[in-house]
């Protein structure tokens, strides 16, 4: 075949260019780049998401050290959870699946971008070095409300991050003179132990309690409240553990008004 000299030169240059591209991309893929989404996370029956070990309960989980896992379910037209918080300096693995049609899970301005195909689980791992706020959106058409599908990812400074959950159980009304208690459950979602203080403020009174909870553990706290000192009337209370706060109102009533009721 008769090939012109210039054509030969161009052919060679083109091949060099192509091989160069492949080499660069290969380097990017196995070197510092982020790993490709692949089939590692397996498949799932979308009808059984609610019973699935991973997606039964969605949200952030601590694996230990600076490693976290975030389980997300996408559906028309929202993410569960829609707000995600992780600490700076962490390595986060997202697992995402869909309950209905194909969506995407896309963290704007980052490499976190995956298709979310029903029946499949997408897995990707990312480092978050600096605190910041990122929008999450769906970039795969998923029905008429597609453009309303969004979420928010917040990377908070490491020392502001915990996975503590606080819940309380307190009477609304108590007869003056009776003893009563405000109970709290503090659970620690981190793998590391938690040492902190719980503070209850009610009226002019303040109670403090040191709490130590193992990793993945929880503690029950009981605060005995002196109703005599409070006196009759409505008393707002606040229970604080680190950044978490629960509050309510306790009414102390005179003996004839009623009993000790919860709710």
Partner 1 sequence: MEVTRMSSTASRTYLDQFPAEAKVIKAAFWSSFMALAIGGLLGLVQALHRTDVLRFIDPADYYTVLTAHGVLLAITFTIFFLVGIFTWAVTTSLDRGVVDIRFTWAWYIMMVVGTILVGVSILGGVVDAIPTYADVLFTFYAPLQAHPAFYVGLVLFVVGSWLAGADWFRTWWAWRKENPDERIPLPTFMALTTTLFWYLCTLGVALSILVFLLPWSLGIVDSVNPLLTRTLFWYFGHAVVYFWLMPAYMMWYIMLPKLSGGKLFSDPLARVVFVLFLLLSTPVGIHHQYLDPGIAEGYKFIAMTNTMFLLLPSLLTAFTVVASMEHGARQRGGTGYLGWLKALPWRDPVFTGMALAGLMFAAAGFSGMINAGMNINYLVHNSWWVVGHFHLTVGTAVALTFMAAAYWFIPQVTGKALWSRQLALGQVLLWFVGMTFMSNAMHRSGLFGMPRRTAEPQYQGFNFEPAVGTVGEINAQVALGAVLLTVALAMFLLNMVLTSFNDDSDSLPANTYAGTLSGPEDSPAVLDNLKLWTAIAVVLVIVGYTLPLASIVDSGGLFGPDISGFQLAIETDPALVLESVREVMP
Residues 128-147 touching Cu ion, rule: CB under 5 A, are 138, 142, 146
List CB contacts of 197: < 8 A, sequence separation 6 or more. Answer: 208, 209, 210, 211, 241
CA-nearest of 191, 186, 189 to 212 is 186
Task: Show the tokens assigned to 140.
Answer: 């795969």
Among 71, 90, 114, 168, binds partner 1 (CB under 8 A): 114
Based on the shown chain and the rule CB under 8 A, indicate whether residue 7 belongs to the binding site for partner 1. Answer: yes
Tell me, residue by residue from 66 to 105, as one string, x for binding to Cu ion by CB under 5 A and - for no binding. Answer: -------------------------------------x--
75 contact choice in Cu ion, partner 1, none (CB below 5 to 8 Å, kind-dependent): partner 1
Based on the shown chain and the rule CB under 8 A, indicate whether residue 173 belongs to the binding site for partner 1. Answer: no
Scanning residues 132 to 161, which ones bind partner 1 (CB under 8 A)? 133-135, 137-147, 150-152
Based on the shown chain and the rule CB under 5 A, indicate whether residue 62 belongs to the binding site for Cu ion. Answer: no
Cα→Cα distances 165→126, 146, 230, 246, Å? 25, 32, 28, 10
- By beta-carbon proximity to partner 1, the closer residue of 111 and 247 is 111
Based on the shown chain and the rule CB under 8 A, indicate whether residue 16 belongs to the binding site for partner 1. Answer: no
Q: Smallest gap, in angstroms, from Cβ of residue 73 to partner 1?
A: 6
Cα→Cα distances 48→38, 61, 94, 211, Å? 22, 21, 19, 38
Task: Show the tokens assigned to 253.
Answer: 């009533």
Residue 20's CB: how many other CB atoms inside 10 A?
A: 10
Among 12, 50, 185, 215, binds partner 1 (CB under 8 A): 50
Task: Specify the long-range contacts of residues 18-23, CB closer than 8 Å, at least 24 apart.
Answer: none
Candidate segments 27-35, 156-164, 171-179, 221-229, binder of partner 1 by CB under 8 A: 27-35
Among 58, 71, 90, 196, binds partner 1 (CB under 8 A): 58
229 contact choice in Cu ion, partner 1, none (CB below 5 to 8 Å, kind-dependent): none
Taking the CA atoms of residue 232, residue 259, residue 205 and residue 219 in that order, the dihedral angle to the nearest 10 degrees is -170
Question: Which residues of the shown chain bind Cu ion in the complex (CB under 5 A)?
Answer: 103, 138, 142, 146, 149
């Amino acid at each position: 075949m008769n090939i012109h000299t210039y054509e030969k030169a161009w052919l060679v240059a083109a091949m060099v260019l192509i091989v160069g591209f492949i080499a660069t991309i290969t380097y990017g893929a196995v070197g510092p780049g982020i790993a490709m989404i692949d089939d590692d996370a397996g498949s799932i029956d979308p009808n059984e998401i609610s019973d699935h070990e991973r997606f039964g309960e969605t949200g952030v989980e601590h694996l230990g050290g600076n490693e976290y896992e975030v389980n997300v379910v996408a559906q028309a037209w929202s993410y569960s959870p829609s707000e995600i918080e992780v600490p700076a300096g962490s390595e986060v693995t997202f697992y995402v699946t869909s309950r209905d049609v194909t969506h995407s899970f896309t963290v704007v301005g980052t490499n976190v971008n995956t298709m979310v195909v029903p029946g499949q689980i997408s897995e990707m791992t990312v480092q978050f070095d600096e605190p910041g706020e990122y929008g999450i959106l769906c970039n795969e058409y998923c029905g008429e409300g597609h453009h309303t599908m969004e979420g928010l990812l917040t990377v908070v400074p490491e020392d502001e991050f915990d996975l503590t959950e606080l819940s309380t159980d307190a009477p609304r009304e108590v007869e003056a003179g009776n003893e009563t208690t405000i109970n709290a459950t503090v659970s620690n979602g981190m793998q590391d132990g938690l040492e902190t203080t719980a503070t209850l403020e009610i009226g002019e009174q303040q109670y403090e309690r040191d709490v130590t909870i193992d990793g993945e553990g929880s503690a029950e706290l009981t605060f005995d409240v002196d109703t005599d000192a409070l006196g009759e009337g409505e008393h707002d209370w606040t229970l604080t553990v680190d950044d978490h706060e629960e509050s309510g109102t306790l009414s102390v009533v005179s003996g004839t008004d009623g009993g000790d009721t919860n709710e």
